[in-house]
Amino acid sequence: MTATHDRPAERVPRPPRAAERPARRPLRPRGLSGTALTVLTWAVALVFVSPALWMVLTAFKREADAYTDPPRLLFTPTLERFATVFDAGILPHVGNSLIATLCSAALVVLLGVPAAYALSIAPVDRTRDVLFFFISTKMLPVVAVIVPLYVAAGRLNVLDNIWTLVLLYTAMNLPIAVWMLRSFFLEVPTAVIEAARVEGASLPRVLRSVMLPMMAPGIAATVLICMIFSWNEFFFAVNLTASQAATVPVFMVGFITSESLYWAQLSAAATVVSLPIVVVGWLAQRQLVRGLSMGAVK
């Protein structure tokens, strides 16, 4: 009978902790192909951004410099066009656009979040039909409904009223918001919802305490997209408003006359009008990227 000697158990190397692991460097293309890809990316980006850059550049020109052919890149910058825009009364129009944009975005969130939550967590038998009905409202050309809307607004004495635009912008953005929010809700793990339900949380409590904190980036992305659509909307505003509730797109049309087109003043007005949305998008860029990429990587 041979004696067996117990060997000491081999120690399995412990995986390094997160703090001990070397930081991963971002993957970057190397060599000539990487440089070419970088140059190509910057070239494509400049092509897409060049119209906005040219608009800002033209805003600092005089009207005579804006009409030169070929375009003049070297000129004496001036702020006269911006002064002309503010003297023309752009601030009331900016206020109307802010009211219509912010109020409609708030209504879209208040109505769209419960609807998307119900269609994703507790769907009905005809969920597909409901979703198709929502998106089918975007298939109708806006020009086909402007006459009934104008007649109805005239009968109700709400023409040239900012709250009319708020309701129309809400109805315009709500279908897209429901589709976007529903896709974000579907990306939330069902285990989280089931755990909350086991703890006795009701569906409204699950939405308020569990889902909304996880859905914050998606909601931010949806709100920003709705704000962009409302801020740039022109057709409803130009047909249903006159002077009291006119928005900034209607104001900018005033620089296009039958006599001439004031390129520099129009560029200055467009620069001022674009700043609020650009600032909001820059401040919310992290939430926007996270929201638009939810579910992209499993």
- Which residues sit opposite 256 in a β-bridge? 261
Residue 26: its pLDDT value, please?
Answer: 55
Number of domains in the chain: 1
Residues 127-140 as b or e (16 or more Cβ within 10 Å = b): eeeebeebeeeeee
Residue 28: its pLDDT value, please?
Answer: 54
What amino acid occupies position 162? I
Residue 173: its pLDDT value, please?
Answer: 93
- Judged by DSSP in three states, 151 sits in helix
Residue 175 lies in a domain: yes
Residue 42 lies in a domain: no
Residue 84 lies in a domain: no
Residue 63: its pLDDT value, please?
Answer: 83
Residue 261 lies in a domain: yes
Residue 41 to residues 35, 44, 203: CA-CA distances in angstroms? 10, 5, 46
Residue 171 lies in a domain: yes
Residue 298: its pLDDT value, please?
Answer: 41
Listing DSSP states for 37-50 in one string gives HHHHHHHHHHHHHH
Residues 99-123 as b or e (16 or more Cβ within 10 Å = b): bbbebbbebbbeebbebbbbbbbee
Q: Which domain holds residue 223?
A: 94-292
Residue 126: its pLDDT value, please?
Answer: 76
Give the torsion sign (CA, 180, 245, 238, 142).
positive
CATH code: domain of residue 238: 1.10.3720.10
Q: Judge whether 235 and 172 are in contact, CB under 8 Å.
A: no
Residue 218 lies in a domain: yes
Residue 260: its pLDDT value, please?
Answer: 67
- Ramachandran category for residue 175: left, alpha or beta (phi over 0 → left; psi -120 to 50 → alpha): alpha
Segment-wise mean pLDDT, segments of 10 residues, the chain, 298 residues: 47 50 54 81 90 90 83 84 89 93 94 87 75 82 90 92 94 90 83 80 79 83 90 92 89 76 86 88 72 51
For residue 72 the two structure tokens come to 């003049």
Residue 30: its pLDDT value, please?
Answer: 58
Residue 17: its pLDDT value, please?
Answer: 54
- Residues present in the chain in total: 298
Residue 77 lies in a domain: no
Residue 65: its pLDDT value, please?
Answer: 83
Residue 109 lies in a domain: yes
What amino acid occupies position 57? L
